[in-house]
Amino acid sequence: MLNVDDISSITAQGMGVVEAPRGPLVHQVSIEKGIIKEYKIITPTQWNIGSGTKNKPMPAQKAMQNLSKEEAIFVFRTFDVCSVCTTH
């Protein structure tokens, strides 16, 4: 266990990866002088739904075509339960 009186002396990077029921979940953090400089989360949603192209959309993208913004958000969130928390 790290015992530090002054957190401003901490500069570090870390990554955690866990295999969640629907796929890998990745957290990456970068700390400089005790302050979180960058925090990234890659959810199973990003692995499962991915991003297609205009000519070759992924299934979630196809399902959202020609919908209102509210309808598209609802449809997208039905593809993966994690998208409810990771899409704002």
Burial of residue 44, with CB atoms counted within 10 A of its CB: 0-12 exposed, 13-18 middle, 19 or more buried: buried
% of the chain at pLDDT higher than 90: 33
Q: What is the pLDDT of residue 88?
A: 47
CA dihedral 37, 88, 28, 35 (to 10 degrees): 20
Mean pLDDT of the chain: 83
Name the token pair of 39.
């925090």
Summarised one tens digit per residue, pLDDT across range 26-45 is 999 999 999 999 999 887 76
CA-CA distance, 26 to 28, in Å (whole number)? Answer: 7
- Looking at residue 75, its pLDDT comes to 86
Least confident piece of the model among 60-64, 65-69, 81-85: 81-85
Once rounded to an integer, what is the mean pLDDT over residues 2-14? 85
Cβ atoms < 10 Å from Cβ of 15? 10
